[in-house]
Amino acid sequence: MAQHQVRIIGGAWKRTPLPVLDALGLRPTPDRVRETVFNWINHQLPSDWDQATFLDLFAGSGALGFEAASRGAASVTMIDNHGPAVRQLEANRDKLKADNITVLRADALALARDMAARGQHFDVILLDPPYQQELLAQALPLCPALLKEGGLVYAEAEAALPVEGEEMPEWLAGWDIVRSDKAGMVYFHLLKLQAGVD
């Protein structure tokens, strides 16, 4: 399989290239998007980076999770169900000697439910699922049970999420879109639970 690369933008491993598996549907979040998103998160994060916990539910290339770890996150849990992608994530973690990263091979939605049942909570949940499979609509309703108070969800999609005044799908109920933008074909959003929603 041919390999592509993704480059870490900021933090301890800034400019470090990481190999990315060439697999169907795997599309690392572009550099400019990651730069923007982590600036957004930085302004909104309720705790300091060195105490922040991240959950990367559809890790894929790991571009988002490695970026969070490079910037000093206390822990990053990466989940993917594709064996070769998981092995690549583990190899990249080992290359970086990143002891703040845990890589798990699992179905993201099933594991999210298990984590919520076990009372696990995160400051930031990263959602960049494969497109065209309605996975964002399935994953977002699981997030309130996994978020710490004041926590954030980053959501990447092939279309813009509806804004206030437009018809809201049921799975978006209870969320505020704090920031949103578009780069090329990528629509990206930072979400926060509305007060009183849990």
Amino acid 2: pLDDT: 39
> With contact defined as beta carbons under 8 Å apart, do 95 and 17 qualify?
no
Decide if pLDDT at 9 tops 60.
yes
Tokens of 24: 């169907």
Burial class of residue 42 in the structure, from the number of CB atoms within 10 Å of its CB (0-12 exposed, 13-18 middle, 19+ buried): exposed
Rounded (10°) angle between helices 63-70 and 31-44 = 50
CA distance 118 to 115: 5
**Among 9-13, 48-52, 88-92, the least confident range:** 48-52
Amino acid 29: pLDDT: 79
Query: In degrees to the nearest 10, what's the CA dihedral of 193, 11, 59, 94?
Result: -140
> With contact defined as beta carbons under 8 Å apart, do 62 and 94 qualify?
no
What mean pLDDT, rounded, does the chain reach? 90
What's the residue count for the chain? 198
Question: Mean of the pLDDT values across residues 150-169?
Answer: 86
Higher local confidence (pLDDT), 89 or 19: 89
Higher local confidence (pLDDT), 97 or 45: 97
The per-residue DSSP string of 91-131 comes to HHHHHHT-TTEEEEES-HHHHHHHHHHTT--EEEEEE-PPT
Return all residues near 110 (Cβ < 8 A) that are at least 6 apart: none
Amino acid 25: pLDDT: 61
Amino acid 99: pLDDT: 94
CA distance 52 to 180: 22
CA distance 134 to 157: 10
Rg (CA), the chain: 16
Decide if pLDDT at 24 tops 70.
no
Task: Tell me the pLDDT tens digit for each residue of 60-117.
Answer: 999 999 999 999 999 999 999 999 999 999 999 999 999 999 999 999 999 999 999 9
CA distance 6 to 35: 13
Closest CA to 66 of 58, 56, 57: 56
Amino acid 45: pLDDT: 84
Decide if pLDDT at 21 tops 80.
no
Its pTM stands at: 0.94
Tokens of 107: 């179905």
Question: Mean of the pLDDT values across residues 1-12?
Answer: 78
